[in-house]
A = this chain, B = another copy of it.
């Protein structure tokens, strides 16, 4: 090769290289670039997030600039991080096709939120926990910054959060940022569980290509293996035949959490089988649906419900979550031989397990296969689900009277939040109106959760045109997280807060220590709380105190009160040692099993 030919070859190679570079650069420019912070916010917007919860801290302030400037996401500054996590949880439970987001700062902030995130894990609620972290350079240098443990262990907080989230990403450079953000978000919405994302202060404004944003993320429901699915369908049909169509449907938590409510409702309407709900499945089916028979909770159930469920020849269990408080302390009297269990990622038929056969895809086919049984199914009796206040002439407000009474106060589309305590149990026996939503934490049971959760729920309800948000909380629980009422006021929300003032932790008293001092708390002046948290009442709010059945009934009948056009708090004076029927039974069983462990645990492990 001559020198000039060699030169020409080199030149040609260089020309090709430059052309390629130019082409890539142009493609980049056409697709546009975006800061990592705004990439994340755009993803959240696509997923339907309109409110973000959290507390500012110096490592997240740069990102907060972007949040504040982002047109479609509102920053809800919370009073503290635990309350913020609870709020994100409540938001996600109401905004059901979306997720909740909580933003905290490194160390101090994120650890304060961790119980709220763990609760979302336990109860299967999609929550993104974003942590503003020191810059990548500071992290590499292991600088002894404030909010560190002083020993250079920058990963300690992530190690803790790994226990309570299904995916984690620590953004470390621009290259993988978009991929990592998408990965954790997909895990969050697909598994309906919390994920953890650390955002170093220096990367928030780094630019990355925006091209991935053109394809929105969607929740992924894996396909079932067609041969196995067909096999399972055949098995179920045979079992229904063998049961002479004497089948009841028992719906539970994962029906709501794993998004099969629509499929379930199609199924029950086309097949006609009677339906019952576990406590955590409440409102998965409209409770006024004539074939809905009420709440099954093992030996705590109303006798007629217990008899109907346990005498059926087959139980089709949908999304079961068999925790102590959701099963009457593990007192189901239903043998596996009578049971078909549908879950989000597996199916049980009697003793046979079918991993990978998920209910989202199975349900429509099951509906087609079981529709022919409708005539037989409709012959099965369903007890009416209703609640009438007892005829009790005493003026004292007790639980037996309270819950049926507020039952008739509820309206369609109301969002009802009940605290872990007497309220969680009291609401069970009350049919709720159609399209109402109930929020509770029957598995995790962290007291104080309902207050933060109400803030998130009320925001989501307002965003999606739902009705009133109504909270039932005890005086003990409200003291844990009380400051969040002020954020509700500041955000112009108008929940009705019923404070069941029974002078302490009544649920604990029922479990153990009925007359112990440790279950008592300080008395507060509940009716002056809203004005104290609200600059002397600059925003209009109303507070009431009711001590008798008559006072309470009159208030509920007051049209102005029921309209809920400002934030309202109602202190309800109740006896310290009164509880709903279901709690009395549950607490007695629970208190015993805490102490006499062996026997209870044996019954529990099945």
Q: Which residue of B lies closest to A134 (CB)?
A: B594
Q: Does A156 contact B (CB under 8 A)?
A: yes
Q: Does A308 contact B (CB under 8 A)?
A: no
Task: Tell me the bound Cα distance from A61 to B514 in angstroms.
Answer: 11
Q: Which of A143, A481, A602 has the most chain B CB atoms closer than 10 A to its own CB?
A: A143
Contact A143 B108 (CB under 8 A): no
Contact B114 A108 (CB under 8 A): no
Task: Tell me the bound Cα distance from A524 to B596 in angstroms.
Answer: 48
Task: Tell me the bound Cα distance from A330 to B142 in angstroms.
Answer: 13
Task: Tell me the bound Cα distance from A77 to B67 in angstroms.
Answer: 39
A523 contacts which of B80, B140, B535 (Cβ < 8 Å)?
Answer: B535
Contact A114 B160 (CB under 8 A): yes
Task: Tell me the bound Cα distance from A442 to B593 in angstroms.
Answer: 45
Assess A483 versus B479: contact at CB under 8 Å? Given A57-B508, A524-B534: yes
Contact B480 A80 (CB under 8 A): yes
Contact B122 A148 (CB under 8 A): yes
Q: Does A62 contact B (CB under 8 A)?
A: yes
Contact B202 A597 (CB under 8 A): yes
B residues near A324, Cβ cutoff 8 Å: 143-146
Shortest beta-carbon distance from A119 to chain B in Å: 7
Q: Does A517 contact B (CB under 8 A)?
A: yes
Q: Does A72 contact B (CB under 8 A)?
A: no
- List, sorted by A's number, 18 A–B pairs whose CB atoms are closer than 8 Å: A56-B518, A61-B594, A77-B517, A79-B479, A108-B444, A111-B118, A123-B150, A136-B597, A143-B330, A146-B445, A149-B164, A156-B163, A160-B164, A202-B596, A522-B535, A524-B533, A525-B532, A529-B532
Chain A: residues with CB nearer than 8 A to chain B?
55-59, 61-62, 64-65, 67-68, 75, 77, 79-80, 82, 107-108, 111-112, 114-115, 118-119, 121-124, 134-138, 140-150, 153, 156-157, 159-160, 163-164, 200-202, 321-325, 330, 420, 442-448, 479-483, 486-487, 489-490, 505, 508, 511-513, 516-525, 528-529, 531-536, 538, 590-591, 593-602, 604-605
